[in-house]
């Protein structure tokens, strides 16, 4: 990537979980060489298997050819540490939604990057300006908030920190479009656009459940049929992860200083119990049964 053009020709992804492997998938499908990093070898193995299955699903639906699938897989390499990112034009951090984890990753990443490399975070709520401050290049740090599941969802929120320069923004906007995404530009306020609106709605649904306004089934049915949403808020919370919902509510509460963002005590209780939703097989629904059964 030249300093003049800021054209992104190679990409790194830190974190091989659900979001990271999805980002690697769409980047590789767009023809970009991708380096996928995770300290856990088993996470990288699982990520490649997931990407392969998801690409094959697209082939079965005639959305891709088998040649497209094979070419995308050939674009992805994996590694266990940041030294493999030295040639990347942009590195996207896709670790868990904990500020201390992201700050440590970004601070440790800097020595391994070339001077003009862009750093992006897939954070869903943490201010970009605060993340950028631990790097040596705040003007080249930006938010790229992909939606889950990444290969399916069309939106990317692009968030500039206070120091993010125009060439960085232009390069990242072009990258998102190359990946087939629609860009929504958000200001650097806690939780940005989607989660600023969505997660308090979920939190309010949990309050409604706690206060006995309705059962899990009643709340989800009412919101699905009453507002034409594909999932009810409690089912969606389980899909997102209750720990992630709680983390975002805490960022909003701290960042905005407004009691309307107070996390629901029942949400806190579920997370403390380890009932995190689909990934732990129990949240507002019990996923050890088919069909899933409400837990409250």
**For 149-163, what is each residue's pLDDT tens digit?**
999 999 999 999 999
- Provide the pLDDT for residue 2: 42
| Domains of the chain as residue ranges with CATH | 11-186 (3.40.50.720), 194-294 (1.10.1040.10)
Instruction: Please indicate whether residue 228 is annotated as part of the active site.
Output: no
pLDDT bin (cut points 50, 70, 90) of residue 172 is very high
pLDDT digits (tens, 9 = 90+) for 197-216: 999 999 999 999 999 999 99
Catalytic-residue membership of 10: no
User: What's the token pair of residue 168?
Assistant: 């960085």
HSE of 258, CA atoms in CB hemisphere, 13 A: 8
Q: Is 4 a catalytic residue?
A: no
**pLDDT, tens digit, 9 for 90 and up, residues 71-117:** 999 999 999 999 999 999 999 999 988 999 999 999 999 999 999 99
Indicate which residue of 121, 122, 124, 125 is catalytic: 124
pLDDT-derived band at 4 (thresholds 50, 70, 90) equals very low
What angle (nearest 5°) sits at the alpha carbon of residue 149, between those of residues 45 and 43? 15
pLDDT for residue 6 is more than 80: no
From the candidates 157, 203, 235, 253, give the one annotated as an active-site residue: 157
Q: Does 145 qualify as catalytic in the annotation?
A: yes
**Mean pLDDT score, 256-270:** 97
Give mean pLDDT, residues 266-275.
98
Contact status, residue 45 vs residue 125, Cβ threshold 8 Å: no
């Amino acid at each position: 990537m030249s300093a003049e053009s800021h054209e992104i020709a190679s990409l790194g992804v830190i974190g091989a979980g659900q979001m990271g492997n999805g980002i690697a998938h769409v980047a590789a499908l767009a023809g970009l060489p991708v380096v996928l990093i995770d300290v856990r070898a088993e996470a990288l193995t699982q990520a490649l298997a997931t990407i392969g299955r998801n690409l094959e699903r697209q082939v079965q639906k005639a959305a891709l050819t088998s040649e497209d699938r094979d070419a995308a897989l050939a674009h992805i390499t994996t590694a266990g540490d940041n030294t493999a990112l030295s040639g990347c034009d942009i590195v996207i951090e896709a670790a868990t939604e904990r500020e201390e984890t992201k700050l440590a990753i970004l601070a440790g990443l800097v020595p391994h990057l070339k001077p003009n490399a862009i750093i992006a975070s897939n954070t869903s709520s943490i201010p970009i300006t605060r993340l950028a401050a631990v790097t040596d290049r705040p003007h080249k740090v930006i938010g790229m908030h992909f939606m889950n599941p990444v290969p399916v969802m069309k939106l990317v929120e692009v968030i500039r920190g206070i120091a993010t320069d125009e060439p960085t923004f232009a390069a990242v906007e072009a990258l998102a479009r190359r990946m087939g995404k629609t860009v929504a530009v958000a200001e650097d306020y806690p939780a940005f656009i989607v989660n600023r609106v969505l997660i308090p709605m979920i939190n309010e649904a949990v309050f409604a459940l706690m206060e006995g306004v309705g059962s899990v089934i009643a709340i989800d049915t009412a919101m699905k049929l009453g507002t034409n949403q594909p999932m009810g808020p409690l089912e969606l919370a389980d899909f997102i992860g209750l720990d992630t919902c709680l983390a975002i509510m805490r960022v909003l509460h701290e960042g905005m200083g407004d009691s309307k963002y107070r996390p629901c005590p029942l949400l806190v209780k579920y997370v403390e119990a380890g009932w995190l939703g689909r990934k732990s097989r129990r949240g507002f629904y019990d996923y050890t049964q088919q069909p899933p059964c409400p837990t409250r």
